[in-house]
Amino acid sequence: MFVRTTYATGDPATLDQAVQALTTEGRERLEEEAGFRGAGLFVDRELGKLMTGTWWADEEALRAGAERMAELRSRMLAPFATTVTVDNWEAAVASRPESAGEGACFRLVRMEFAPSDADLLVDAFRNGALPRLQAMQGFLGGSLLIDRAGGRGAVGALYADRDSLAASRAPVAALRGDATSKARATVRSLEEFEVAMLVVRRPSS
């Protein structure tokens, strides 16, 4: 699968306007798109930032609706966003939950690596980090997104509530250090958000 992420910052006082638009009309429009496989909306109301991730069956589906999604995104974020960054990724490893209840939280780690080490990072996450994350209390799911040519990666992890997110910080810090060392990757940022929306659509059989 492939993923498009949007990262926006703006006035915290107007963030909820964007959240309302994205979780209503935005969600409905996404559901109409061929190849749509799900979406997440994650927010930091105190600082005034949000991130969305939309999941697509393949790269063709990702690109087919790019123009329509750009128009929709621009209109819905306009009351809030002063900066917007959009990226496209390959979902190299995905363990996606069926749902997330009220109070769920999300941790995002961004990293860089030599393009030739992409498979090292994928192996370190799939066979090292993910099984250990799955054993943690409150862990709901996690994914590794990569830009192979650009040498960039992002790991997103969902937790059932703020307590389980907080309890995971120390063990995940050790895990992150081990995985990035094995993959020769460099961590560039670490952020935490509340989950405002999670949609998972499974392919029809």
Convert the pLDDT of each residue in 132-157 to its tens digit.
999 999 999 999 999 999 999 999 99
Give pLDDT tens digits for 78-96: 999 999 999 999 999 999 8
CA dihedral 190, 191, 197, 198 (to 10 degrees): 20
Q: How many CB atoms lie within 10 A of CB 70?
A: 13
Whether 32 and 95 have beta carbons less than 8 Å apart is answered as no
The DSSP output letter for 117 is: G
Q: Tell me the C-alpha distance between 14 and 20, whole Å.
A: 10
Residues 6+ apart with CB under 8 A from 95: 130, 134, 141, 142, 143
Determine the Cα–Cα distance for residues 187 and 28; give it in Å rounded to an integer: 35
Residue-wise pLDDT for 34-47, tens only, equals: 999 999 999 999 99
Q: Are strands 2-10 and 49-56 parallel, antiparallel or unpaired?
A: antiparallel
Residue 205 in this model has a pLDDT that exceeds 50: no
